[in-house]
Amino acid sequence: MTESERPTRRRSRSRRRRRARLRRVLLSALVVGSLLLAAGGWVGFRGWQARAHLLNAAGLARELSAQVVGGDTDRALRTLAALQSQSGAARKATGDPSWQLGRRTPIAGDDLDAVRQIAIAIDELARQAFPTLLRTDLTSLVPAGGRLDLARLSDVSAELTRADESVQRTRRDLAAVPAESLVSQVRQALIDLRGEIDRLANLTSAADQGARLLPPLLGASGPRRYLLVSQNLAELRATGGMFGAYAIMEAENGTVKMGKQGSSASLGQFTPALKLPAETRALWTDLPGIYPADVNLSPHFPTAAALYREMFRRKTGTTVDGVLAVDPVVLSYLLKATGPVLVPGGVPLASEKVVQTLLNDSYQRLNVKQQDEFFASSAASVFDAFFKKNVNPRVLLSAFDRAITERRILFWSARPEEQRTFGDSRMAGTLPEQDTVPTVGVFLNDGSGAKLGYYLRPTANLTVGECRPDGRRELRLRVTLRSTAPKSGLSESVLGLGLAGDPYTARTLVSIFSPAGGAVLDARLDGAETALGSGTERHRQVATASVDVGPGAERALEVTVLTAKTGVGQAELRLTPTASPWTTQVHSAPSCDQ
C-alpha cells in the first residue's frame, strides 16, 4: 500500500465506524421511541380514565357538601359511597407503572405528578375526613335551650381531631406540589382544589379547636366572664372598627347569660397612658393607651384586647377572662340562622338590613347616648338568640366559618395557656411574625373623626414582580378607595369632627405592612409621590399614607413592596374587614428558579 493510500483507507474506516454508530443510535432511538409511544398511549388512555373519574368525583363532592350542609344524611351516605368509588378509580388509574414512568419524563412529568397528587387528595378526603364528618353529631357544637352540652361536646372531640388531621395533611401535601410549570388545565384544577381544601381546613380546624376549647371557655371548671365588644365599621380601625359598645357574657357549665351593657365612651380616658409595646407607641404615640376607641389602631388584636380589658378593669373594678369582638356583618350572618331578632325598644333586626340599620340608619334617628345603647343591646340580643333559640347547626357553623374566614370574629383569652392554642389562626387576630407565603397587609384607620367608613368601597390588587439578584422579590400593590357618601343630608353624628376639612370627605390612614422581613420602597397617590409615616411592627416595615376621599370620588395609592429572600411566585393580602367587602386580585408569577 502506498503512502498516499493509507490516509484514504483510514478515512474510509472512520466513516464506516461513524455510520455504524449512527445506525446503532438510530436503532436505539427507534426502539426507545416505540416503547415511549406505547407507554405514552397507555398513559394517555389512563389519563383519559383518570380525568373522567376526577370530573365525576368533583361533581359528587359538591353534591356531598350541599347534602351535609342541608342535613340530608341518608343521601349524603349514598353520595359518599359513589364518591369513594370514583376517587378510588382515579387513584388507581394514576398509580400503575406506566404512569409512574411518565412522571419521570422531562416534558409531561410535572403534570402527570400533579394529577396523581390531586387524585390521592380527593381519595384521602373521601375515605378519611368525609366519613368522620358525617358520623359527627354537629348539634353538639351549638347550644340548645341556652346551654351547650359539654359532655356531648367532649364525646365528638376526638372524631373532629382525626378529621382535621386528615384534612390538614392533605392540605400540606397539595401545597408542596409546584404549580407554576403546569399546563393551564392542570394548574387551574390544582388551584381550585387547594381553595376548596383551604376552606374545608379552616372549618375542620375551627370545629376541632371549638370542641377542645369550648368546655373550659364556657365554664366547665368554673365560672368565666368575657367582654363582647362590637366593632363599629362606620369608624374604621385596623382590626375592623372602633370598639364602640360592650356587653358582659357570663358562662358556667355550658350556660351563657348576657349581663351589663355599656359603651367605650363611658370608660373615659386614661392618663397617664397604659403601657404600650414600643413599636405600637412609635407608630401611634400614646393614643391606644389613652382612648378605648383607639386600642386597635394596630392590627394585632391581642394588643387591643389586653388594653381594653385593663381599661375596663380600672374603670369598673371587674376583671374579665377574655375579649370577643364582632361586627354588624357577623350579626347579619348569625341572623340567617336565628331569624329576625327584636331589640329592646321594639326595633327588629333582620339579616338583610342589620348592617344598614346599625351603621347608617341609627345615626340619622338617634342621639349619641341612644346609639351606644342600641349597639350594645343589638349585639347582646343577637347572641342571646343564638344561645337560646334552636337553630340549624350546619347553617350556624357555616355562618361562623364565613365570619372567621373574613376575620370578623376575634377572640383573645387572658389565660396564656389557652391563648397559645389559637396560635396564628384567623380567630386569634394575631399579626404573624413570619410568613409561609409573602403577605402584604393593608389596614385602615379613620382620620376624620367621623362615621363615613360605611360609604367606602375598597379594592386591592397585588402583582408579584421581578426576582432580584439579592433573592428578594418586588410586589406591586394598588389600593383604591371610592366613596359613595352623598354631598349633603347626613346627620352630625355621621359627620363627626370633620378633620379632613370638608365634613363629607373621608380621611383614611392607609397603613401598608410589608411581608415579614421585607420593606416598603415607595408610594404614589394618584400618580404623584406622597409622604409616608414609617415604623415597624412584628418584623414588618409599616408605611402609612393619609388619603382624603370626597363624596363620589376615588383615590388610588400605588406602593412597591419588597419581600424577604424567597423564590416563590405567590403572595397574599391581609385586609381590614369593612362594611362593604373588598374587591381583591392577586397576580402570581413563576418561581425565581424557573
Query: What pLDDT is recorded for position 38?
Result: 34
Residue 109, C-alpha cell as written in the block: 412529568
- Partner residues linked to 322 by β-bridges: 226, 413
Q: Can you tell me whether residue 85 is helix, strand or coil?
A: helix
Mean pLDDT value of segment 44-71? 63
Answer with the residue of higher pLDDT: 279 or 106.
Answer: 279
Query: What pLDDT is recorded for position 13?
Result: 59
Q: Can you tell me whether residue 594 is helix, strand or coil?
A: coil
Answer with the residue of higher pLDDT: 125 or 504.
Answer: 504
Contact call for residues 297 and 289 (beta carbons, < 8 A): no
Residue 24 has pLDDT above 60, yes or no: no
Q: Give the least confident one: 13-27, 90-104, 248-262.
A: 13-27
Query: What pLDDT is recorded for position 166?
Result: 85
Sorted by where each begins, the domain ranges of the chain are 36-214, 224-422, 433-587
Contact call for residues 109 and 101 (beta carbons, < 8 A): no
Contact call for residues 554 and 568 (beta carbons, < 8 A): no
Answer with the residue of higher pLDDT: 378 or 444.
Answer: 444
Contact call for residues 574 and 429 (beta carbons, < 8 A): no
Query: What pLDDT is recorded for position 16?
Result: 56
pTM of the shown model: 0.80
Contact call for residues 142 and 396 (beta carbons, < 8 A): yes
For 374-416, the pLDDT digits (tens) are: 888 888 888 888 888 877 776 777 788 789 889 999 999 999 9
* Residues of the chain above pLDDT 90, percent: 48
Mean pLDDT value of segment 460-489? 96
Query: What pLDDT is recorded for position 435?
Result: 94
What CATH class has 224-422?
alpha beta
For 568-578, the pLDDT digits (tens) are: 889 999 999 99
Answer with the residue of higher pLDDT: 10 or 491.
Answer: 491
Query: What pLDDT is recorded for position 443?
Result: 98
When pLDDT is cut at 50, 70 and 90, the band that residue 457 belongs to is very high
Q: Which CATH number fits domain 433-587: 2.60.40, 3.30.160, 3.30.420, 3.40.190?
A: 2.60.40
* Residues of the chain above pLDDT 70, percent: 85
Query: What pLDDT is recorded for position 36?
Result: 32
Residue 26 has pLDDT above 70, yes or no: no
Q: Considering the chain, what is the average pLDDT of its residues?
A: 84
Residue 505 has pLDDT above 70, yes or no: yes
Query: What pLDDT is recorded for position 446?
Result: 98
For 269-284, the pLDDT digits (tens) are: 999 899 999 999 999 9
Query: What pLDDT is recorded for position 157?
Result: 82
How many Å apart are CA 206 and CA 395, to the nearest integer? Answer: 15
Query: What pLDDT is recorded for position 10?
Result: 52
